[in-house]
Amino acid sequence: MRLLALVFACSALYGLATAHYGGSALSLLFAGFVLYARGKFDEQDQAWLNDPKRVQPADIDTTQQLIDKECEASGSRF
């Protein structure tokens, strides 16, 4: 995302140097939007990582899961 913002910023500088002010302003706007979106994405990623519903219990016994779910593979063949 930083590279994309850098490309937009360089495009804005080039637009200023060549007197294309509308394109330069638009490129600068997009660079700001990319940096803003990056911050929002980081916030959402952190919220997802800290969500207690996402955490799975560790070391679940496979045989016990089969019994709990009443899977036919857990039963006797006879």
pLDDT in tens, 53-72: 877 766 777 777 777 777 66
* Residue 30: predicted pLDDT: 96
User: Does 78 map to a domain?
Assistant: no
pLDDT band at 33 (very low <50, low <70, confident <90, very high): very high
- How far apart CA 78 and CA 49 sit, in angstroms, is 46
* Residue 53: predicted pLDDT: 83
- How far apart CA 78 and CA 36 sit, in angstroms, is 64
Contact assessment for residue 29 and residue 21, using Cβ atoms and an 8 Å cutoff: no
User: Does 67 map to a domain?
Assistant: no
* Residue 13: predicted pLDDT: 94
* Domain boundaries, position 22: 2-54
Alpha-carbon distance values, 46 to 7, 28, 43 (Å):
27, 27, 5
